[in-house]
Amino acid sequence: MCLSGYEIKKIRKALKSAYPRRDRLIIMLREEIDIDESEVPQDSDYDIVLSRLITNFEIRGNIQELINGARKGNPGNYWLQKLSITIAVFKRLAPFREKYLEEMKQSYLTCCPKDWHINQNTDTAHDLEEILDNLEDMPQGSNLYSRTEQFVARFLVDVENKLHPEEFNKLKEWGEQSFENFSELLLRKDEKKTSKEQENIPNHLIIYLDSSKQQKKRYFVSAWFIPDGANEKFNHLTGEGYKFLEIEEQEQETFTLEQIPSLLEDYLDKITPYLTDFSSQPTIEVFLPYELLNEPIDTWIIQQEEELPISIGSLYKVIVRSSRRFRKEYPHRNVWVQKWKTLKELTENACSKCCTSGDCHSWKELFSILNQETAIALKLLKPPSNDFFKVMNQTAIPVAFWLRQELQNSHHQVELDELLKCSITELPERVKQKRSDDFPYDYEQRIGHHLSLLWENPHILPPQIEYTTPS
């Protein structure tokens, strides 16, 4: 059996994981394979010991005996459990990687958990070895099939019309012999989007405001559009999947808050060519400095050509973001990502159960409450101070909503409770609907005119290029 460098590396790492010391390795070899200690190589570098041992078994043509013995000696070791299938898949698919590497990459992406590369802060795999290594690391979840099995089946589906029939049939036959119920897995071409998903492609208009240092109450404004918000379609670290929006003949560099709604109308015109029949209504995400986070941006009135003047929050999901979080020096990103992951897993939980009330606390008390792994959402009936906004940032809380002013209407608590009768992931849509419902009515008496929603998705950010603000 001639092993490739990749296979030798996988076997060595699995053995080292299961038997991290030479004395433990000797016990396994003696008890499971009847190999005497004198036959075990010696060296101060344990990796060299393992490498020489593997070579000895390879020369004798019984490397599988080593793998089987190691697995019997430590049956619970994860890497030994995965070893045989990974090596077998590598041997079968390696001859096809040069011609069909792009298909392998696409099949791999289909099998990845949602947000995998973003949460792991890694790039997508570049070759078959990386693909197989990453598949080993991924949780199986509730699926009956391992990620590697899913990958093999998806690859066969994706290249069925490209492979020679004889090659395809050989791979299919091998898969059926190697994996239980492989034929059923091959029929599961259902990983593709349903028609409903195809008709609801998320997209995001990102607006970033930065204060001018020389001109008081004037702001530099930048904007980007993500036409396809599926996680593998964009990357804020590289700018892939983003469209930079630039207004032609824009004479001024900075804007007052009163001028920004008109600018927003121009940006909305700019994104129209990127929208398709399958696009959902854009989500507008406005990144703001602390001093603007309580601004009623959802009440900004826009009036596109020959249309009626409408508050932007009645037409679109409008959320506020803290500009502090997208900067590279933000120190709490790891906590933020984990809290966001927790939030996304709470699809069956009522929003009211996920929210912490912060109205009766000082900022220090609020920090103590929110600085917990399980704290993901904050509810306030009063407008937050700048200190509260800083607490939100420093605890990396992903969701907060509040009333921008204290209302005299005694029913606003009941209205808020009714609003929260949804899963937390549905909250942006519910807030948008409440704003729309209250748009026709008296400004002072409806909470829809006063609702702010902070919705901090750590994966939707302005592209992470080096920003230089004009002085």
**pLDDT at residue number 190:** 43
- Kindly list the distances between the CA atom of residue 56 and the CA atoms of 16, 18, 69, 72, 75, in Å, as whole numbers in the listed order: 17, 19, 15, 20, 23
* Domain co-membership, 125 together with 185: yes
Q: What residues are paired with 221 via a beta bridge? A: 209
Tokens of 448: 């829809």
8 A C-beta contact, residue 409 and residue 445: yes
Range of 152's domain?
98-192
- Kindly list the distances between the CA atom of residue 340 and the CA atoms of 285, 335, 392, in Å, as whole numbers in the listed order: 17, 9, 13
Name the DSSP letter for residue 383: P
Q: What residues are paired with 208 via a beta bridge? A: 222, 287
**pLDDT at residue number 120:** 59
**pLDDT at residue number 382:** 87
8 A C-beta contact, residue 140 and residue 147: yes
* Domain co-membership, 360 together with 265: yes
Place of tokens 């998705």: 457
* Residue 465 resides in a domain: no
8 A C-beta contact, residue 331 and residue 295: no
* Domain co-membership, 56 together with 104: no
Report the C-alpha gap between 298 and 354 in whole angstroms. Answer: 24
Packing angle of the helix pair 147-159, 97-111 (nearest 10 deg): 130
pLDDT digits (tens, 9 = 90+) for 149-179: 889 999 998 898 888 889 989 999 998 888 8
Name the DSSP letter for residue 442: -
**pLDDT at residue number 196:** 45
Task: Number of helices (H) and strands (E) in the chain: give both, helices first.
Answer: 20, 12
SS3 (DSSP) at 286: strand
Report the C-alpha gap between 188 and 151 in whole angstroms. Answer: 12
* Domain co-membership, 158 together with 261: no
* Residue 434 resides in a domain: yes
Q: Where are the beta strands (DSSP E) in 263-353?
A: 283-288, 301-302, 310-311, 317-322
> What does pTM read for this prediction?
0.59
Report the C-alpha gap between 223 and 213 in whole angstroms. Answer: 20
* Residue 199 resides in a domain: no
Write down which residue in 146, 163, 192 finishes a domain.
Answer: 192
Work out the burial of residue 169: count CB atoms within 10 Å of its CB; fewer than 13 is exposed, 13-18 middle, 19 or more buried: exposed
* Domain co-membership, 163 together with 50: no
**Beta pairing, strands 219-226 & 243-245:** antiparallel
Closest CA to 470 of 191, 237, 222: 222
* Residue 463 resides in a domain: no
Report the C-alpha gap between 169 and 326 in whole angstroms. Answer: 50
Write down which residue in 133, 160, 192 finishes a domain.
Answer: 192
* Residue 378 resides in a domain: yes
* Residue 256 resides in a domain: yes
Name the DSSP letter for residue 120: H
**pLDDT at residue number 235:** 85
Report the C-alpha gap between 437 and 131 in whole angstroms. Answer: 49
* Domain co-membership, 113 together with 217: no
* Domain co-membership, 63 together with 133: no
Query: What is the radius of gyration, based on Cα positions, of the chain?
Result: 28
pLDDT along the chain (471 residues), means of 10: 87 92 92 90 91 91 91 86 89 91 89 67 79 83 78 90 88 88 69 50 94 90 91 80 81 88 92 89 95 94 87 95 87 92 76 83 93 90 91 95 81 79 87 91 80 94 62 42
* Domain co-membership, 430 together with 385: yes
* Residue 124 resides in a domain: yes
Report the C-alpha gap between 125 and 129 in whole angstroms. Answer: 8
* Residue 22 resides in a domain: yes
* Domain co-membership, 371 together with 427: yes
Beta-carbon neighbour count of residue 226 at 10 Å?
23
Q: In this structure, what are the phi and psi dihedrals at residue 72, rounded to the nearest 5 degrees?
A: -65, -35
Write down which residue in 153, 171, 192 finishes a domain.
Answer: 192
Split into its structural domains, the chain has a count of 3
Closest CA to 167 of 92, 104, 107, 110: 92
8 A C-beta contact, residue 340 and residue 458: yes
* Domain co-membership, 141 together with 275: no
Closest CA to 423 of 343, 375, 351, 355: 351
* Domain co-membership, 124 together with 233: no
- 355-389 as b/e: b if 16+ CB within 10 A: bbebeebebeebbebbeeeebbbbbbeeebeeebb
* Domain co-membership, 172 together with 294: no
